Amino acid sequence: MKNYTITIYTEHKIGLLTRVVSVFTRRHINIESITASESSLKGIHRFTIVVKLTEETVQKIVLQLEKAVDILKAFYYDDSQIVYQEIALYKVPTKAFTKENQVEKIIRTHHARILEIEADYTVIEKTGHQEETEALLADLQEIGVYEFVRSGRVAIVKPMESLNKYLESLATAP
């Protein structure tokens, strides 16, 4: 089993998220992350779902998703076929910054940045792969983390030919 990123193009309709997730739930498949956003085409939305499955199972899921009403097309990719990132936010105590610049060193080492500084807390942002955001979390645990949140994966597909042709067909469809 390995990570696969499934991209699903849909019309923008209420209840689609429930129907998409139910395909995975019925098969007892855990979703590692999910994001939803507009696509590059007006009126078309995109779900990006990460799952850990065999290729055979992910193929079946994609076929089942495409049979659903209001789902225009679904694709799946392994990690080598996409460029992807996640974003993580960390809320840490501001008082920790007085400890011999320990926090600043951690931030620089992980190529993170400070978003906001308040009297009680500081918010740090890190973009990268899950392993990178978790590594920063582990280092920040030493000084204390009040809050941590990580987004789902956002991904851009490397092989352009099939996706471009498909998106063009949507744009020119009656």
- Residue 35, pLDDT above cutoff 80: yes
How many Å separate Cα 72 from the centre of its chain? 21
Strands 154-157 and 82-93: antiparallel
Cβ-proximal residues to 137 (8 Å cutoff; 6+ apart), any chain: 88, 90, 145, 148
The predicted model scores a pTM of 0.84
Q: Render 78-102 in DSSP notation, one character per residue.
A: EGGGEEEEEEEEEEEEGGGGGTTTH
Q: Give all domains of the chain, ordered by start, each with its CATH number.
A: 2-82+157-172 (3.30.70.260), 83-150 (3.30.70.1150)
* 94-136: pLDDT as tens digits: 988 875 678 889 999 999 999 999 999 999 999 999 999 999 9
Q: What tokens appear for 27 in the block? A: 């098969």
Q: Three-state secondary structure along 128-160?
A: ECHHHHHHHHHHHCCCCCCEEEECCCEEEECCH
> C-alpha distances in angstroms, 61 versus 2, 11, 108?
15, 19, 41
The pLDDT tens digits for 74-84 are: 999 999 999 99
Instruction: Give the three-class secondary structure for 23.
Output: helix
Pairing of strands 82-93, 147-150: antiparallel
On the question of pLDDT at 25 being above 90, the answer is: yes
114 near 124, Cβ under 8 Å?
Answer: yes
